[in-house]
Amino acid sequence: MSKYKELKRECYEANMQLPALDLVIYTFGNVSAVDRDESVFAIKPSGVPYDDLKPEDIVIVDFENNLVEGSMRPSSDTKTHAYLYSQWEDIGGIAHTHATYSVAWAQAQRDIPIFGTTHADHLVADIPCAPPMPDEYIEGDYEHMTGKQILDCFADKGISHKEVEMVLLGNHGPFSWGKTAAKAVYNSKVMEELGRMAYLTLQINPEAPRLKDALIKKHYQRKHGKNAYYGQN
């Protein structure tokens, strides 16, 4: 029996949340879950419809993109996951979808502005939209450089991936991450809902102001700060 059985199951269940949460159709999207002790991660096989996906189809890959276990080809986006895991040592899962509103903001090449407390409950900044990749990135090791484009964006904007667990890649779509694969998927769903709320907000009032600092701080702190009082423990 595979020593990665539990990791595959975690990855499988997180992937199956994508269609359940209306974040993907057909074979779009992929989720991975990492095992830091083994320095490997589990990821969806490429191009398999969610209806057909089984836990044993999940592929195990290391951070240099070598196949460790599995009979199927891993997601074509595997190198992006590998790069992010190698650079951000504290994340446990990554999700990539083609969710409608998130993709629309990415195609519009616009950050999703922080307009309300629903947003501040999750992060204190606009959801960043990384610029479309330069041609030399695209024509080189594309999926690897996709990860680099995301890190470049966070460096340029001076934001931390620990506080902002989601990003839009210009002209492409959303990536998110978290302590676990399930949390990465949660962040994808939240980003999609924030993108939908922000879209409607601007349609109703194109001059809608960003959330005031006191509310940003209050809502983020009550959920994530030292003296957080949201949730159980």
Residues lying near a copy of itself in the complex (CB under 8 A) are found at: 25-28, 45-48, 72-73, 76, 98, 100-101, 103-110, 115-118, 132-133, 135, 138-139, 142, 171-173, 186, 189-190, 193, 196-205, 208-209, 211-212, 214-215, 218, 222-223, 229-232
CB of 95 to a copy of itself, least distance (A): 15
Q: Which segments within the chain are labelled E, that is strand?
A: 30-35, 40-43, 59-62, 67-69, 93-96, 129-130, 166-169, 173-178
Q: Catalytic site residue 26?
A: no
Closest residue by Cα to residue 160 from 125, 194, 114: 125
Nearer to a copy of itself, 35 or 98 (CB): 98
Nearer to a copy of itself, 1 or 204 (CB): 204
Any long-range contacts for 14-21 (C-beta under 8 Å, 24+ apart)? Answer: 14/93, 14/95, 14/180, 14/181, 14/182, 14/184, 14/185, 15/44, 15/50, 15/53, 15/58, 16/50, 16/53, 17/182, 17/185, 18/50, 18/95, 18/97, 18/185, 18/188, 19/50, 21/185, 21/188, 21/189
CB of 38 to a copy of itself, least distance (A): 25
Catalytic annotation, pick one of 22, 26, 156, 230: 230
Nearer to a copy of itself, 84 or 190 (CB): 190
Q: Catalytic site residue 230?
A: yes
CA distances from 164 to 59, 63, 121, 127, 167 (A): 28, 23, 12, 7, 8
Nearer to a copy of itself, 101 or 177 (CB): 101
CB of 34 to a copy of itself, least distance (A): 23
CB of 190 to a copy of itself, least distance (A): 8
Catalytic annotation, pick one of 121, 137, 152, 199: 121
**Residues involved in catalysis:** 121, 230
